[in-house]
């Protein structure tokens, strides 16, 4: 079967790999759709991010959906031919963090398409995938493309939980890629009263507006546009920092009111922080990393019609043209979420 394998920066190949059979508690999935994530783009464009580098060939991908094609022994609750969203998160369930309920912090995490450990954890961009049944969330009623959006949606639902009480809050979102736009959707669903979004691209800001932002600001064209929100010690209650860029974080901190909450989602490497402002305004700085139980919640919200991710899916490319999808996804002037179609469902 075919798989999408990263060897180095700008060196991604469609290769033949061996198929697997499901064991007890596992299922085989005929992949339908895979979404290209920011981390996939880091591997494609730079060979990694921060200190995380490709050290061996690695199958990419962790935003996937597919159809159950084979059930392993003892599997129940899933049926042949059923569309499922596949969570890439596979914590061990045994380490101290799993036992504390912090499964996203698992010491033995096997997260699809991650070069953090070595040997690397191979990804899900392959025509047929064997997964634990517990990873599979029924996606009846959704399209394969929508089901594949469960992973990035779960990231922002987890971030929204980390932010705390959202009802009636004023929210600033910096960086309007897929995670930023989904953060807008998640914050609004949680009860945010006002949402302002910033970015350097008019295209992504238009998507942010469509997703529900009350005001969008192009900080490339208007670098001082957040200054009025910084008066009298700040305005916003919550900052979702989704760009991973230090200037966006610094400007966001200035616009937060005392005892506001910073939720850092963007992964752009280490940054220098204005610690005096954080200290003097008694700000809470909260990291947000991956997710666990939020994955199934996101699927349920989409199935119930409470969250619509379809407008974010701007491009769908066939597997044989998959490499072009990475170029499309890298162009923030025209693409929000590029997906690869692995099969017809």
Give me the helices (H) in 129-190, please. Answer: 144-148, 150-163, 178-189
Same domain, 199 and 238: yes
Q: How far apart are CA 87 and CA 137, in angstroms?
A: 8
Q: Are residues 225 and 277 in the same domain?
A: yes
Q: What is the pTM of this model?
A: 0.95
Encode pLDDT of 297-324 as tens digits. Answer: 999 999 999 999 999 999 999 999 999 9
Q: Does residue 189 share a domain with residue 124?
A: no
Domain containing 21 — which CATH number? Answer: 3.90.180.10
Burial class, 241, CB count within 10 angstroms (exposed 0-12 / middle 13-18 / buried 19+): buried
Check whether residue 219 and residue 131 sit in a common domain. no
Residue 164 sits in the same domain as residue 277 = yes
**Domain membership flag for residue 172:** yes
pLDDT at 144 over 50: yes
Domain span holding position 184: 156-287
pLDDT for the residue 43: 95
Mean pLDDT of 138-143: 97
- To the nearest whole number, what is the mean pLDDT of the chain? 96
177 within a domain of the structure (yes/no): yes
Distance CA 46, CA 149 (A): 24
Which of 198, 196, 277 lies closest to 236 in space, CA to CA?
A: 196
Residue 345 confidence (pLDDT): 46
Domain match, 31 and 97 both: yes
CA dihedral 59, 180, 338, 301 (to 10 degrees): 90
Per the domain annotation, does 24 fall within a domain? yes
What's the total number of domains in the chain?
2
pLDDT in tens, 37-90: 989 999 999 999 888 899 999 999 999 999 999 999 999 999 999 999 999 999
Percent of the chain with pLDDT over 90: 95
Q: How far apart are CA 131 and CA 29, in angstroms?
A: 8
Q: Give CA–CA dist 190/93, Å, rounded.
A: 29
CB distance 339 to 148 below 8 Å: yes
Would residue 18 count as lying in a domain? yes
Alpha helices by DSSP H, listed for 195-274, are 202-211, 246-255
Coil, helix or strand at residue 170:
strand
- pLDDT at position 267 is 81
Same structural domain for residues 221 and 283?
A: yes
Please tell me the distance from the alpha carbon of residue 345 to that of residue 342, in angstroms, as a whole number: 9
Q: What is the pLDDT of residues 88-131, one digit of tens each?
A: 999 999 999 999 999 999 999 999 999 999 999 999 999 999 99
| Residues facing residue 131 across a β-bridge | 27
């Amino acid at each position: 079967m075919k798989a999408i394998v990263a060897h180095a920066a700008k060196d991604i190949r469609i290769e033949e790999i061996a198929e697997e059979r499901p064991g007890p508690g596992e299922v085989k999935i005929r992949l339908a759709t895979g979404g290209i994530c920011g981390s996939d783009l880091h591997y494609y464009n730079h060979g990694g991010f921060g200190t995380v580098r490709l050290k061996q060939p690695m199958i990419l991908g962790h935003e996937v959906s597919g159809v159950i094609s084979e059930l392993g022994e003892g599997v129940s609750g899933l049926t042949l031919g059923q569309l499922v969203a596949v969570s890439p998160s596979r914590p061990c369930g045994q380490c101290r963090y799993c036992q504390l309920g912090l499964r996203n912090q698992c010491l033995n995490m096997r997260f699809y398409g991650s070069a953090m450990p070595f040997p690397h954890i191979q990804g899900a961009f392959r025509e047929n995938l064997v997964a634990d049944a517990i990873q599979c969330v029924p996606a009846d009623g959704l399209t394969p493309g929508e089901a594949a959006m469960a992973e990035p949606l779960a990231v922002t639902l987890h971030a929204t939980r980390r932010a705390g009480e959202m009802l009636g809050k004023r929210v600033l979102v910096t960086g309007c890629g897929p995670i930023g736009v989904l953060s807008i959707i998640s914050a609004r669903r949680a009860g945010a009263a006002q949402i302002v979004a910033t970015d350097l691209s008019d295209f992504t800001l238009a998507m942010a507006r469509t997703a529900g932002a009350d005001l969008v600001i192009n900080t490339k064209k208007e670098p001082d546009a957040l200054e009025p929100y910084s008066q009298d010690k700040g305005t916003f209650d919550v900052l979702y920092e989704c760009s991973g860029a230090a200037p966006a974080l610094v400007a966001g901190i200035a616009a937060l009111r005392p005892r506001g909450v910073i939720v850092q989602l963007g992964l752009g490497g280490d940054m220098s922080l204005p610690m005096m402002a954080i200290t003097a305004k008694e700000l809470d700085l909260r990291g947000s990393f991956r997710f666990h139980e939020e994955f199934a919640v996101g699927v349920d919200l989409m199935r119930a019609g409470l969250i619509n991710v379809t407008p974010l899916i701007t491009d769908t490319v066939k597997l044989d043209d998959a490499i072009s999808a990475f170029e499309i996804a890298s162009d923030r002037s025209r693409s929000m979420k590029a997906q690869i179609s692995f099969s017809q469902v």
